[in-house]
Structure formats: structure tokens, C-alpha cells
Structure 1
Amino acid sequence: MESLIYVGGQKESIQFLFDPLDSNLPKMTQVSNEQIQNQREIKKIVSGNRQNFLLWRNNNTLEFYRKGKPMKQFSIKNEIVKGIYSGYTTYLILTESGNVFSLSEKAAYHEVPLDDPENSTFDEIRPIPFFNEEENNRKVQSIAMSGWSSYYVCKDGTMYGNGFNKGRLGDGTKNAHQSKPVIIYKSVSRIFSGVQGYCVFIITTDDNILGCGSNRCGRLGIGNTKDCSSPINVPKLDLKGSDILDISCACEHTVILTNEGKTFSTGQSSDYNGTGTSALYFNEISAFKDKKIIKIDTGTFITLALTSQNELYGWGFSTEEFYSRNEFKTKQKNGKWILPIKINLPQVFQNNSLPLNFSCATRKYFLYMDLNSCVKEDFRNLFESKKYYDSIISLSNEKESNNEIKIHKMLVELRTKLKIDQIQKVLNENNINTEELKLFLKWIYFDEINNSNALKKIFNFLNLSYPPENGLEKDLSRLFNDEDSKDFKILIKEDEEYEEEGEEDEEAFEEIPVHKIILLARSGLFREMFENLNEKEKKINQIKDYSGKSFESLELLIKYFYTDKIELTADDDPELIFEELNDSIEYYLLNKNSNFNTELNKCKTFN
């Protein structure tokens, strides 16, 4: 099977971000399956300086690599990973409960706020005392790391920062560094930075955009190159905080991405900012005016941008330029490196249905597959639709008075491995209220874990392990193999035209057993079919598929509904499967973010 991870930029010697003789040809190194196994199960890769990186897998495990070799695998007991972040030499891990952990080795300039950073090693993940002590009630909701500084936004909107300072941290002082986090700003909703940015951008709760820190080459976009020791408004930017999707800061420029896919950049050095002109204020990048950008990231001088059509663009420098500017300027005239250019991707990524992900380090970048599941999104939509319920949990206790919460019995019992009457009895005995139950149901339907103390309480009452042993996807995969609990049938009759209703021979149909809730959650076509049934018909436990597709193809489709994967057997014909299922997103009205075409193209690519 072909590798799905590539590394570009500096490796062991000076290499080019783009080949100097052909700017459309990326200089990338393929990562073998022996170096990194299970390359389809990766959620994110982050890296700072040197040749180290941290990999986060879908199963909540973390793997640390040094010089391209796996060193150690980690999991954090009783915690669920929410995000991973890289500074210059260290890593932070944020969990769903709002706790923060570090993986570091003698953190430079106190990049990570440990009480004894000199004892740090890459052999262990350590909790950050400032945020993890229960009595301080500082639960973190987001993190940004930059150079030798780290920033945190707590759930109450207070923003903290620590690390390298000298007037750049944003706390209003000019101290050499801050080993323990200090308050930077209050009423903050989001923060952004970059691995080599040395500054931070702040979105406030009242929708303003602020910046502070190092303003080298005008990367704050405030009209000058003076550093800012306290957050200030970013002028001449006709955007609100709610318009911003991402902000990524490099050494000499910053790029803004909006929700609409527009990009803006600033930086006195036109070699790097992507506009082709010196800019001390943010200007739109003209090369993307007719494109929608959905993701950006920056390294030291590197910038990458991905379009909605899965096209990757890049601009900036070769690492050789860092050492020889004069030589680079000659190449700059011929190759127009200062403007975004389309990167000729490796063959495995050239099919638009195979989605990309990437992350930039200081002088390298990782390119890999984005194969995230949309199962949770489908079941979130089912939960929020408030339709198709078939059971209730009735709360009647000291806090609630006969309040009935509608549920889908099959899903609740699957996730908890308990009967509804057992769950109801325990909840009432322990005086669980409606809001607490809804938090619990959000975990059941789409794995959302908020207000962890309330959830832990319910998990404890029900004798369920916390954090949960299985995610929604794993539980649904297990449900697929439970033939006894399947409560519905899809009837298929292939290779013949369907006769008029009432004249069809029922024995001519083949059956695919399925759980009704799976069809409701994952296919808009089947939802429409159920909605159009009259009351008498709704009691029927089967439905006919009139697509004319083969039994084998529909069986693979149904299995995809459960597992989010299409896996062929030795008896399947890949070309036939591809042909028959190629229109499934439109025909069966699958989620627009479905990875179905990705999975289908894998059949064609890898078989």
C-alpha cells in the first residue's frame, strides 16, 4: 500500500521547499509504512524545531518521534485528548476536561510552565500544575504556542501566557521571561499564533481582533514594526472576530483566513507575505481572489494554503535562502517565489476526492491524508433534529417532576450496555436533572464531553468507565456484527425492472438486515422514505431499494453506514463496485462532508 505521509523542507541537510529548477515540483520525502504504521488513523501531526514530531491517533494515543524514528507511545489516564500543539522545542496536550499536559525536554525560556523544567524528558507526559489542580478552577478551552511562548484561554474567557518575554509576551511588562502563566487579557474567545511567530492574535468576546508580541517586519499589521507589550486593536482590517477562521504567524509575516475562504497577509518583507509587495497592514492576497481557501499554516518563512478543490499552494523561501539571500534573489526574479504557486502533489493526493491535511514546522512541513469520520456529525444532526424517537427516559425525583426526555432506545442501550429502565432508575435515585441528562445524551449521540464533572458523576452512578472505553465509531462497528438486534430490512431486486406496486413477487427480493437508526442517521434518502410513510406503513419493518444496484454493492454501502469505511473482499470486483456506487452521495443523500467518495476511490486506487 502506498504511503500517505510526506515530509517537505529541511531534513538532514539544506533542502528546498520547492525544487529550484521547477517551482511546481515539491521536494518531498515519502514516509514509509515501516516508519509510521497505520497511516490512515492519524488525526494530527505537529512539530517545532529539529527533527522531532508528535503524532495524535484516532484512538486517543500519542506517539513521539525523534529523527524520524518512533520513540514512545503515550496515553493519558482518565483523560480524552482534545488537541496537540507544538512550540519551538516542546509540546502541549489539551484534554476534553480542560487539563493541560506537556512533553518537553528542558524547556527553553520556560516555554512550558513546569515547576522543575530542568527535569523534563521526552520519556514522560507531565501535567501542568497551574491548570491541573482542581482547587484553582482554571480549565483551559484552547491553546496557542509560538516560539518559546505559550498562551491559554480558560473556559471563563481569561487568557494566560508564559515563556519568553522581553516585552513580547503581552502582559504589559518587559521581564526576561515568565516561567509561571500570567494574565494577558480577559473576555477572550479564541487565540492564534504560529510555531515561529513570537506574537499572538486575540479574538475577544465582543468580536474585536487584537494583536501583541513581536512585530518583526510588521507581522502584527498595525502599520509599524514596533513590538507590542500589550494587546492592541488591529487597524484597517474590515473584519470582525467572528469572520476569522484562522490566523497563522510566521517569522516575518502573518496570514489571515476568513470563514468565506478569503486570505489577507501582512509583512514588510515581500519575499514572504504572499502579496508580492511590502505591507505593514493586512492586504488581500490577490492570487486567491477567485479561489476558496479552507486551510492555512506557516513555518519560519514557509506558507501553505489549501483550496476547497483540494489544490495546495505555497510560497516563501528555500531553506538555502536563509543562508544566502543574494543567491535567492536571482531565483526570485525567474521563479516568482514571492507569490503563491500551485504545488504538484504526489500521485496519491492528485485525486480530488482524497482530502489533504498538512502542518508546518519551523523549516519543514508534513503532508498527510485527512480521513476524519463524519459519523459523529450525522448522529449530532439526528440528535438535534428531534425526530424519529422511539422511547423516553422519564425523570421524576427531587430535582425533576415527571420530565420526559425522548431518545432512540437502540443507541442509548448500545453505548451504555444497559437497559433503559435500569438507566432511568439510577438517574432518578441520584437526582439527575434534565440539563445533566442532556449532557450525557450528547456523549451518547456524538461523543461530546463538556462539563466533565457532571458527566463523571453520571458515569460513576451507572458504573461506566470514565473516560469511555469506546468512541461512537467503535460502538457502531460492533453493532454492525450484532445480527440479533437488527430491527429492519432493505429489500433488493437486481437485474430486473420493478413491476407495478402490488404485483411484485416478494420472494424475488434479497434482504439486507440493518438497524433502522443507522438509516435514519446516515442517509437523507431513507429519512425521506420514512417521513413519507403513512401511520400504518410506519409499523412495517422493511423498505425496498429501487436503485437497481447489486446486492454486493448495497451490502458494502450499508457496512459503510456503520463503519465509515469501504472494505472489499477478494470476491468483490473493484471496477463494478466503483461504477455502481459512484453516485451514492447524491442518490442516497449522504452528508455533504461524507468521506464516502474518499473511501470509494481507495477501492480503485489500492486494489
Structure 2
Amino acid sequence: MNRSSLLQQIQSFNKSDLLPVVDHVEEDFLELFNNGWLSDSIIESIDGEKVKFHKLFLEFRILPKIKLTYEELLVKMKDCDKSELKAFFSVVYCGTIPFSQNMQLSKAIDSMKFDHSLIGKLNSRESLNKDLLVMYRDEKSKDFTIIVEEDVDEEEPEVEEIKIHKLILIARSKTYRDLILNVEEEVNEIKDYSGKSPETIVTLVRYLYTSKIGPWTADDDIELILQEMDDVLDYYQLNLSDVDLNRQIQQAEKNFTYKFKIRGKN
């Protein structure tokens, strides 16, 4: 089987067998906001209340959609009261908002003198997914490193450094949230102790942003990744939905192996 046909097979497999997973990404990011974990910014509302937030989410979720600088946006936000700011940040962080906060969100948009079309650009899981994918692809803004060792039995194992935004890691992984938040000094890198391959950790990191397993390139050992994903998801303690993602991955592994063998014979 040549390289191009293998790549076509991988692309076909990814589209047909691994659909986006409905996990708790919205709840994860809303919890990040509500708890103020590693918040780097604070704003005082018009009624004198202070609200903590993360500049990263405004940079990727709001600024590309409005013709303002970050500083100009902060000035507008100061015209909102606390309830309006909470509703605004809720839709910024999780792409959806409870019905009970719709009126506060509408008032926030009015207070900041934005067109109400901005709500439609923010208030959907699709919008959140697109912005998170842009964030994932932006290597320059990534501020944290996961260190993965290959061939750990060797005297000098190969080391691969995988970049990620620290906020994404602590929002999505309970394992590393507990490790990072429970140390006094600032942590900018951490060793992966799951024992899995770098390819699998790269796949996991992409999943943390996109809630999708894949896509891959022809150089990836897909069967190995699928075999390891069960354990790595458990190790990172992701907040999964009632849908049994582990079972989906096991089934995808079987399907891929079957397709690979059948196509290999043709």
C-alpha cells in the first residue's frame, strides 16, 4: 500500500468512524471562569463589583469579531454591571448560555454598544469549536509544555515537548489541574506520567481543544494511538459525557483494523 492510498484511508476512517464527541467542554471552561483558576485579569463593573477573567479567551473569542483593541474592549466592559458581565463571560467561555441569563447578555451587549449580531457569533458550540481550533493552531501563544519521554528503558530516552495553553490543560484535565494548582511556585512545564507515546499525547492535546479524535497524517501510528487512548483519557481524568467514549475508541480501533486488512488485500 503506497503512502497516498494510506493517507486516503486515514482520512476516510476519520470522517466515517470518529465523529465529534459530546463531552463537557462547556462546563469545563465555565468552571474555569467561575473558579478564577489562574485568572490574569480583573475588571470592576459599573456597580463596583470585581470580576476575574482570562485575557486569552477575549483575545480568541471576542477581538477577532469586533474592530476594537483589547484596551478599548475593557473600557466598554466597565459600563456593564456584574450580572451583565457574568452573562457576557459565560457565553465567551462556553459558547452557550442558560435561558435565565439571556436578558442579562442582551443588556451587556446594549451597555457595551455592540450590535446584537455579536450574540449569534458567540452563542453556539460550533462558534466555540472554531475559536478553540484557532487557539490550538496558534503556537506562539501557547505557554505550557508537556514533556513526553520515548524509550524510557534506555539510558538516554528521547524527549518530545508538546505545547499547550496552560488554561486549556487545567480546565480539561483534573489530573494536571490538581498538580498545577496545588504547588506554590509557577509551573510552565510538566512531565507526562501516563506512559503513552508522544503521538497519543499529541492526539489527546488536540482533543482537549476540539473534542475530536483525529485527524491524522500518514506518519501516525493510528492503531497504537487508538489502543492507548483508553488509558490516557482515564489518566488525565477528563470530564466525559454519558456517551462511553472509551467504547467508541475501542470500536473505532476494530473498524480500522478490519478496513486496513481488507484494503490491504485488494
Q: TM-score, normalising length from structure 1?
A: 0.34
Q: Could you tell me how far 1:606 is from its partner in structure 2?
A: 4.4
CA distance in 1, matches of 2:26, 2:133: 13
CA distance in 1, matches of 2:54, 2:206: 20
- In structure 2, the partner of 1:164 is none
> Matched residue of 1:525: which SS?
helix
CA distance in 2, matches of 1:462, 1:498: 60
Letter in 2 for 1:517: L
Q: Which of 515, 525, 536 lines up with 2:175 in the alignment?
A: 525
**Structure with the higher strand share, 1 or 2:** 1
Asked if residue 379 in structure 1 is aligned to residue 29 in structure 2, the reply is: yes
- Correspondence list, 1:168-567, <5 A: 371-395=21-45, 399-401=46-48, 403-417=49-63, 420-428=70-78, 431-449=79-97, 450-451=102-103, 452-457=105-110, 460-461=113-114, 465-468=118-121, 471-497=127-153, 508-535=158-185, 538=186, 540-567=187-214
> Matched residue of 1:448: which SS?
coil
Q: Could you tell me how far 1:605 is from its partner in structure 2?
A: 4.5
CA distance in 2, matches of 1:478, 1:443: 18
Total equivalences in the alignment: 228
> Matched residue of 1:493: which SS?
strand
Q: Which of 240, 249, 265 lines up with 1:600 in the alignment?
A: 249
Q: TM-score, normalising length from structure 2?
A: 0.74
Letter in 1 for 2:114: F
CA distance in 1, matches of 2:71, 2:160: 36
Gapped regions of structure 1 (runs ≥ 5):
1-38, 41-347, 349-353, 355-368, 500-504
Q: Could you tell me how far 1:378 is from its partner in structure 2?
A: 1.6
**Structure with the higher helix share, 1 or 2:** 2
Query: Which of 1 and 2 has higher RCO (CA within 8 Å, sep 6+)?
Result: 2
Given the superposition, is the C-alpha separation of residues 419 and 407 from structure 1 closer, same or farther in structure 2, using an over 3 Å criterion?
A: farther
Gapped regions of structure 2 (runs ≥ 5):
1-14, 257-266
- In structure 2, the partner of 1:49 is none
> Matched residue of 1:490: which SS?
strand
- In structure 1, the partner of 2:235 is 587
CA contact (8 A) 1:379 1:446 kept: yes
Given the superposition, is the C-alpha separation of residues 379 and 576 from structure 1 closer, same or farther in structure 2, using an over 3 Å criterion?
A: same
CA distance in 2, matches of 1:527, 1:513: 16
CA contact (8 A) 2:173 2:236 kept: yes
List, as ranges, runs of 4+ consecutive aligned residues in structure 1 with deviation greater than 4 Å.
none
Given the superposition, is the C-alpha separation of residues 465 and 559 from structure 1 closer, same or farther in structure 2, using an over 3 Å criterion?
A: same
Q: Percent identity over the alignment?
A: 36
Q: CA RMSD in A?
A: 3.1
Given the superposition, is the C-alpha separation of residues 586 and 373 from structure 1 closer, same or farther in structure 2, using an over 3 Å criterion?
A: closer
Q: Could you tell me how far 1:448 is from its partner in structure 2?
A: 2.9
